[in-house]
Amino acid sequence: MFRHKHGVVGLGVTLVMILTAALPLTSRAAEKVIYMQAMEPKGTTSVKKEAFPGKNLPGGGGYVIKAPNKQGKWQVSTYIWNPSQVIVHKGDRVVLKIVGLNGAKHTGSIEHYHPEHFIVKRGRITTVQFTADKAGRFRIGCEDHKPTMTGELIVLDN
């Protein structure tokens, strides 16, 4: 009778050990796959509806303004990371899958987590991976499209 009880307790302890070992994979060190896009939202109109404001936007490649064409159409756009704010928890294994939609090339970097440049090209997916070991706000930049192509990685303290 005593031996039988001991066996049941032993099985229970083993189960708890298995569950505890499995927990970090599910809740504590979750893998976060986040899909991002390198984009260029555009606004187009014509001088018949709205006067061309002139080429008055800051340089750096982030703003693009096209003067009226023969038909009087003009266009303004900015380059952005979408989403521009990525939120994860400290300890997460982060996988960013960034596809290039607009612009031939983007030279990206992430403060602290990926300071070395990564290249995003149109029609291709660039994968950036890291473990979010430090909490805080970190700039996601693009060398080719300043200042607008600036995002932020937020790592929440648990």
Contact assessment for residue 105 and residue 121, using Cβ atoms and an 8 Å cutoff = yes
Per-residue b or e along 78-102, where b marks 16 or more CB atoms closer than 10 Å to that residue's CB: bbbbeeeebebbebbebebebbbeb
Residues that bind Cu ion (CB under 5 A): 79, 106, 142, 144-145, 149
Give min distance, CB of 61 to Cu ion, in A: 7
Measured from the CB atom, the residue of 6 and 105 that comes closer to Cu ion is 105
3-state secondary structure of 45: strand
Give min distance, CB of 148 to Cu ion, in A: 9
* Gap between the Cα atoms of 97 and 92, Å rounded: 15
Measured from the CB atom, the residue of 98 and 155 that comes closer to Cu ion is 98
- Backbone phi, then psi, for 14, in 5-degree steps? -60, -45
Show the tokens assigned to 45: 């109109």
Give min distance, CB of 59 to Cu ion, in A: 14
Give min distance, CB of 106 to Cu ion, in A: 3
Measured from the CB atom, the residue of 39 and 132 that comes closer to Cu ion is 39
